[in-house]
Structure 1
Amino acid sequence: MATTQIDTVSTGADKAKLAAVVALVVASLAGYYLLGKQGALAQWAVLLLGLAAAVGVFLTSEWGRQFVGFARDAVKEVKKVVWPTRKETLQMTGYVFAFVVLMALFLWLTDKTLEWVLYDLILGWRK
């Protein structure tokens, strides 16, 4: 199924909403730190309420609607994935571990061979 991409022009209202989102996040963080003497409950309440308000404003903007559409499409695609069975997963993990061990042995043997050729045969440092 082919979807068409529709480019929309960002309106002044959307820009104002995004500015409000930034202002709400900054105000939430400032409120969290300024209410240090009021206790942790007040700090976290201000922070969470401010961030929730920022998310709410963001979701009403055009970018927020596009994000929600993208998230819905992503969930649809994840539902289409055919996940491997437990047996297949264990087999593939075993293959990976076996390959890693073989590659480690190969690299170790290569390293030791080059060390022997360079230091013992060519340079004669280890006699």
Structure 2
Amino acid sequence: MSNNPVQTVSTSGDKVKVALAVFAALAGVVGFYALAGQQTLLRASALIGGLVVAVLLLWTAEPGRNFLAFAKESVRETKKVVWPSRKEAMQITGVVFGFVVIMAIFLWGTDKLLEVVLYDLILGWK
């Protein structure tokens, strides 16, 4: 663990930016509800303004940049996924549905068998 003062200042500065971003977002939401009697455009502007300020503050902080890089990488990875065709999706769904039906019948049969063994043979209840 290094005691780099520049990194410490950057980290605490980032914490302040994140805290300010949260405050700006909350201020936008509070402003939206505080202006309940005003026009919808004014209320929406307060909300959007608070959210825009929050995003801009997060963009300048290291955690915000890391999140943006993560989001871009997630989109890039999603584009690499080979999605099944409609026919393949229907076939897979059919297999799953068939398995569920077979398991339901099996569990029903097991339950009935245990019911007969327990109530009729062991306890003698009919």
For the superposition of Structure 1 and Structure 2, which TM-score range results when normalised by the shorter chain? Answer: 0.7 to 0.9
> Normalized against structure 2, the TM-score is what?
0.85
Structure 1, residues 4-52: CA drift from partner, whole Å, max 9, x if none?
xxxx754332122112102102211221121112133322221122112
Structure 1 unpaired stretches of 5+: 1-7
> Normalized against structure 1, the TM-score is what?
0.85
Percent sequence identity is: 53
Q: Could you say what the CA RMSD is over the residues aligned between the two structures, in angstroms?
A: 1.6
Deviation at 1:76, TM superposition (A): 1.6
Q: Any idea what SS the aligned residue of 2:68 has?
A: helix
Q: How do 1:67-106 residues align onto structure 2 when only pairs under 5 Å count? A: 67-106=67-106
Amino acid in structure 2 at the alignment position of 1:61: A
* CA distance, structure 2, for counterparts of residue 62 and residue 20 of structure 1: 14
Stretch deviating more after TM superposition (114-123 or 44-53): 44-53
Matched residue, 2:34: 34
* CA distance, structure 2, for counterparts of residue 12 and residue 115 of structure 1: 66
Point out 4+ residue stretches in structure 1 off by more than 3 angstroms. none
* CA distance, structure 2, for counterparts of residue 103 and residue 41 of structure 1: 56
Matched residue, 1:51: 51
